[in-house]
Amino acid sequence: MTHTALVNGLKNSESFSKIAMMSPGFDFYKILDNGSSAFTQEFLDGLFGDRETHLNSINHPETAILASKNEGKEIPEMFICCGQEDELVYDNDVDFINILKENNIPVEFIEESGGHDVLFWDKMMDNMFSFLAK
């Protein structure tokens, strides 16, 4: 889960200088609210407790990124890519990118035609590895 890459990268920023995410799901409850059948409420509650608990947890990406910023912690450089036809996470990813921009947190974001599939991710591999090699 790229969600976990972000949360762990922030928690352990002294060990990670970069975080790369391909079509990440940042807020699974919002994905569920948008009609996705990828998760059930019971499944998410089993993972996170419940929506409110997760939202206020350091394991929620938005909460984690803002806590890191407010604590003055070094935020690893981030790469995020998502296909514009990715019905599962595209809107969720754009919302998260906007949160980063509103908080002046730099991110390399690539959005191109594609879905939530290996065809899109394969197309993004060179971009991701170039980012990691910088």
- Look up residue 109 and give its amino acid: F
> Class of the 2-133 domain?
alpha beta
Q: For the residues 37-62, what does the mean pLDDT come to? A: 89
Q: What is the pLDDT of residue 2?
A: 67
Q: Both tokens of residue 18?
A: 């970069």
Q: What is the pLDDT of residue 31?
A: 87
Sequence-distant (≥ 6) Cβ neighbours of residue 29 within 8 angstroms: 44, 51, 54, 55
Q: Both tokens of residue 112?
A: 């191109």
d(CA 35, CA 51): 16
Element (H, E) at 112: strand 108-112
Indicate whether this model's pTM tops 0.85: yes
pLDDT (tens digit, 9 = 90+) per residue, 78-131? 999 999 999 999 999 999 999 999 999 999 999 999 999 999 999 999 999 999
Check pLDDT > 60 for residue 43. yes
